[in-house]
Each structure stands twice: as C-alpha cells, then as structure tokens.
Amino acid sequence: MKYEKELNRRKTFAIISHPDAGKTTLTEKFLLFGGAIQTAGAVKSNKIKKHATSDFMEIERQRGISVATSVMTFEYKDTLINLLDTPGHKDFAEDTYRTLTAVDSVVLVIDSVNGVEDQTRRLMEVCRMRDTPVIVFINKMDRDGKNRFDLLEEIEGELKIQLHPMTWPINSGKDFKGVYNLHDKSLLLFTANTKATDDEDSVVIHDLNDSVLDEKVGDKDAAQLREDVELIDGVYGELETQKYLDGKVAPVFFGSAINNFGVKEMLDTFIRIAPVPRSRETTKRMIDVKEEKFSGFIFKIHANLDPKHRDRIAFLRVCSGRFERNKYYHHVRLDKEMRFSNPYSFLARSKDVIDDAYAGDVVGLFDTGNFKIGDTLTEGEDFYFTGIPSFSPEIFKELVNKDPMKTKQLEKGVNQLTDEGVAQLFTQFGGNKKIIGCVGELQFEVIQYRLLQEYGAACEFRPLPFYKACWLTSNDQKKLEDFLRFKQQNSAEDKDGHPVYLAQSEWFLNTEIQNNPDIQFHFTSEIHK
C-alpha cells in the first residue's frame, strides 16, 4: 500500500474532561515532551502573562476556559501526533461531540478530588456510541482526593467501562510519594514543583520485595504498595491491547499534570498502543483508510482565528489517501472543484503551510464561506461521511437586532457563527423571526461578544419558552405539511431548510408524538442523513 509508512506513524486523539480537571495543562505537557513548546503558559496565573498555548480566543483568555476546539500537531519518538484539545465547559459540549468524530482515540482526564462529573458521563456516552478507545488519566494526585480503589469503582460504575490500571499511586495529597509503573516495573518518585522528566527520578524495581523500595518510600508505604500491586495483578493481569482498541477496556494512569508527573508514562503507552487512523463509514460504502484516493470531511469551522484578518478556517480530517496543496478536489455538497493554495497544519495559534497530509491528519483550509460542518471533499466520488451529529439545543432565544443600520453585518455574523457550530439557527415558519438554540447560556454571551467585536453588530436575546427542538421526517409529505401549518407558532426550519418542531414542554412533545404516528421526531439531525 502506497502510504502505509505515513499512515502507521500517525495517531490522532482528543483530550476530554470536565472543566477544571486539568485538560489544558495536560495538553501543554504533551507539547513540552514533543518539543513543540519550550515554556508552559498558565491559564489562570496573573503572574505569567503568557496564556495556555491552546486557548486563543479573547473570551477564553479572559475567563481561563477553552471554548473552541483547537488542533495541535507535534512529533514524539518518530510518531506524528494530532492532538485535539476540546472545550471542557458544558455549554460547548456540542463542539466536543463533533470533534470526537474526527479522532481515533481519546484521553479522558478525571480530577481525583471530584471524581466523575456530569460532563464526563455525557462525553463517555459519545465515545461509547462509536466504541472509541479511551485512556484515563487521573489527575491532581498531589491533592487530597478520593481513595484510589473507590475512585476506580466509581469510574467503572458511572461510565460503564472496564478499567485497567497501568500505574499505581503511593498515597495522595500531601503524602503523595509517586507512582509505580505496573507495566515496566519501575517506581517514579514525586517531589512537588519539580519536573518529572529526568530519568534519575525513576527507580527500576524488578522485585517489589527489594529493600530499595522501603528505603525510597518508607516501610509502611512499601508494604501497602506490595499489597495493592498483588491485588491489582490478581484482578486485572496483563492489558489485552485488542480490548482497549475495541473500546471495551480503558488503561488508567495516575499523576499530576501541573507538576508534569506521570504524564510521560501515559504518553509512552499511548504511542505504543493507541490506534493508527481507521477506516470510516460513508453514505455509500466503507472508505478504507488505505485507499490511495483522497477523501476527508469538515468537522469544525472557526472564524477570525486572527482578529487582524477576517479569516475563516475549516478544519478537515483526512480519511484516506494523500491531500496535496494546489490540487483540485471535489466538494460533494456544492458539486464543484476546489483547490487550496495555503493549507495549514496547526500548533494552536501558529499556522504552518503544508504541501501534503495523510489519513489521520487535520488540515486547516482557508474558507470564504464554501464550507459547512459535515462537508466532504473527494477525488470525484459522491458520498458523505456519516455520524456527524447536531444535537437538540436546550435553551432558545430570539435574536433581536439593536442597530437596524447593521442588519447586513448581523446576518453575516450569525450565519458564519452558526456555520461554525457555536449554536443553531432556526427561522420561524410564516415569519422571519430568528431563533438561536444553544446547549448552554455561556454560548449566548460568546455569540453576542463576537458579533460586536468581529462584525460590529449589536444584538440582544429574548428568552423563548421552548424545551426542545425536534427534526421532523415523514413518508407522508401531506401530513407533515398539515402538521407544520397547524403548529405554525412552534414550527421552524433549520439552516438547511429541514422542518423542526419546537416543543414547549415534555408533555406537549409526548402528546404530539402520540397524536402524529406518521411523523418521526428526531432529537439529533445527523448532518447529511
């Protein structure tokens, strides 16, 4: 196979977590190991004016949260890693869900103090929908948290996935002394505020009964570690890599990202076991990742990455073949040929023009409004990659223009921001009331801020009493039309012209579902069903 060598050296994954679990910090440590950055930023530290490498929107810098998925490419031990850092904040979950369609595996960060939280559950549901392989990193071991066995039990119970410890902590909080690597039988000793990248911090212990262990961690902790390891070996045994690749078992690592501790062990294991790019399903057939012809899909659009230039970048996941600069490709939805003279690879904010890319890579394409999320590029064949969801929003507000002189700017801004997937835009039937649907309140703030800053358009939002948006399909077109006419106040269409029913409450929704057996109500609109 022509591109096998390139394919086998690529790993594309996302880091996901609940807000404040330490995801952005972990991302930075990966980049440090890969030599992609020299100093770590500090998202919330006022002393250090550099912000986290992966947070590049103004509003992110003000709040210290990631609200847009950013893409970083770096090399580590001859492996080319495409890392997608996702928003932790629940209001931006939809961006994260879509990002999970573009990766082959996931690292889930869990805060040892708080354990499993709501957002973690939701993210894992999306991973399970696709059987995405997951590695778990239990962070903040240098803080007083839950008992490690209780934590494992909680994660297994709540996330319904079998775990397999790869490292094991010696205490936690102020008594945290380090982690024992169960795979290569070495002990990594912890000293607060030092960088655990030096090999002298690591002690190889082939036999846990060796007195060196007692010297290093003390008799009591040494005895506890021996007992724990014996129990773990008895329960878990060796990791079966295939079960991990099938999404059935998640390897677990313990550490402290802020202290750069336990991160290297995870990264080394990731390189060893994480999947290379995989074949993908389309509306026509399965696209084999080893096919020579290029194909790929747009999973994210980001406007104004650089505030000085009004640019839009469409993020393309390459699924097969080789993407080449200046070559013409077929845009399936628009049925037109396009070429790209400046395709980018990313290190967060900095962009490098590239000549080619292979399956697994994420490429930034300069976009003048040709792309929507879910668009497919091929070398001529017509199909769409499936499984790129659009979820029903939970909060609905009417968009009100505060400056009629800026109507054009507002329209353009709203269209571009909703193309990015920041929110969903519905237009009410029989009128032109614009309704914005979001998963969380913070998204409305971001939209309002960006419309003003980037498009010069002032707007406000008026709450609407809707509970859910449902996409409607029916084999009986007349019945669907009648329903939309009778329910005009609650009917709208999305940006693609698909009919949507906006239910005021769960009761109304259930009543309409019962009363209209010939109409199907969908809670997600899988783009290009």
pLDDT for residue 394: 81
Residue 67 has pLDDT above 50, yes or no: no
pLDDT-based confidence at 105, cuts 50/70/90? very high
pLDDT for residue 141: 86
pLDDT (tens digit per residue) in 316-373: 999 999 999 899 999 999 999 999 988 877 654 455 677 888 999 988 888 877 888 8
pLDDT for residue 270: 92
Same domain, 80 and 159: yes
pLDDT for residue 347: 55
How many C-beta atoms surround the C-beta of residue 116 within 10 A? 19
Tokens found for residue 184: 């290569």
pLDDT for residue 295: 94
Dump the DSSP string for 29-61: HHHHHTTS-SS---SS-SS--PPPTT--SHHHH
Q: Is residue 62 part of a domain?
A: yes
Percent over 90 (pLDDT), the chain: 26
pLDDT-based confidence at 89, cuts 50/70/90? low
Q: Going along 475-518, which residue ranges are E strands?
A: 491-493, 499-503
Q: Is residue 220 part of a domain?
A: no
pLDDT for residue 48: 34
Percent over 70 (pLDDT), the chain: 84
Average pLDDT over residues 493-505: 89
pLDDT (tens digit per residue) in 154-182: 999 988 889 999 988 888 788 888 888 88
Same domain, 149 and 253: yes
Under 8 Å between Cβ of 394 and 441: no
Residue 115 has pLDDT above 50, yes or no: yes
Selection from 136, 224, 236, 234 nearest residue 180 by Cα? 224
Same domain, 338 and 265: no
pLDDT (tens digit per residue) in 405-450: 998 999 988 888 887 777 889 998 867 789 999 877 878 888 888 8
Q: Is residue 202 part of a domain?
A: no
How many folded domains does the chain comprise? 3
Average pLDDT over residues 258-266: 85
Same domain, 293 and 249: no
pLDDT-based confidence at 44, cuts 50/70/90? very low
Same domain, 269 and 287: no
Among candidate residues 378, 406, 421, the one where a domain is terminated: 378
Same domain, 336 and 412: no
Average pLDDT score, the chain: 81
Same domain, 361 and 487: no
pLDDT (tens digit per residue) in 391-405: 778 889 999 999 889
Same domain, 265 and 292: no
pLDDT-based confidence at 311, cuts 50/70/90? low
- 178-181 β-sheet, strand order: 167-170, 178-181, 186-189, 202-204
Under 8 Å between Cβ of 143 and 170: no
Q: Is residue 198 part of a domain?
A: no
Give the contacts of 220 (CB within 8 A, at least 6 positions apart): none
pLDDT-based confidence at 489, cuts 50/70/90? confident
pLDDT for residue 51: 44
Residue 305 has pLDDT above 80, yes or no: no
pLDDT for residue 195: 52
Domain CATH for 123: 3.40.50.300
pLDDT-based confidence at 461, cuts 50/70/90? very high
Of 60-64, 385-389, 502-506, which has the strongest mean pLDDT?
A: 502-506
Same domain, 361 and 439: no
Tokens found for residue 323: 């993407």
Dump the DSSP string for 384-417: -B-----BPPSEEEEEEES-GGGHHHHHHHHHHH
CA distance to 113, 250, 323, per residue, from 105 (Å): 25, 11, 22
pLDDT for residue 133: 95
pLDDT for residue 123: 79
Distance CA 295, CA 316 (A): 10
pLDDT for residue 198: 47
Same domain, 71 and 113: yes
Same domain, 422 and 496: yes
pLDDT-based confidence at 252, cuts 50/70/90? very high
Q: Is residue 183 part of a domain?
A: no
What interhelical angle do 148-159 and 118-129 show, nearest 10? 50
Q: Can you give 132-198 as a three-state secondary structure string?
A: CCEEEEEECCCCCCCCHHHHHHHHHHHHCCEEEECEEEECCHHHCCEEEECCCCEEEECCCCCCCCC
Same domain, 131 and 263: yes
pLDDT for residue 328: 93
CA distance to 191, 449, 481, per residue, from 433 (Å): 60, 21, 20
pLDDT for residue 396: 93
Under 8 Å between Cβ of 67 and 89: yes
Among candidate residues 245, 273, 301, the one where a domain is terminated: 273
Dihedral in degrees, nearest 10, Cα atoms 386, 389, 390, 392: 130
Q: Which domain holds residue 295?
A: 280-378
pLDDT-based confidence at 526, cuts 50/70/90? low
Q: Is residue 226 part of a domain?
A: no
pLDDT for residue 83: 87
pLDDT for residue 62: 52
pLDDT for residue 45: 35
Q: Is residue 422 part of a domain?
A: yes
Among candidate residues 347, 378, 409, the one where a domain is terminated: 378
- pTM recorded for the entire structure: 0.77
Q: Is residue 17 part of a domain?
A: yes
Selection from 180, 116, 172 nearest residue 148 by Cα? 172
pLDDT for residue 185: 78
DSSP state of 401: E
Distance CA 87, CA 60 (A): 10
Distance CA 83, CA 361 (A): 10
- Return the higher-pLDDT residue of 193 and 33: 33
pLDDT-based confidence at 42, cuts 50/70/90? very low
Q: Is 334 helix (H, G, I), strand (E, B) or coil?
A: coil
DSSP state of 325: T
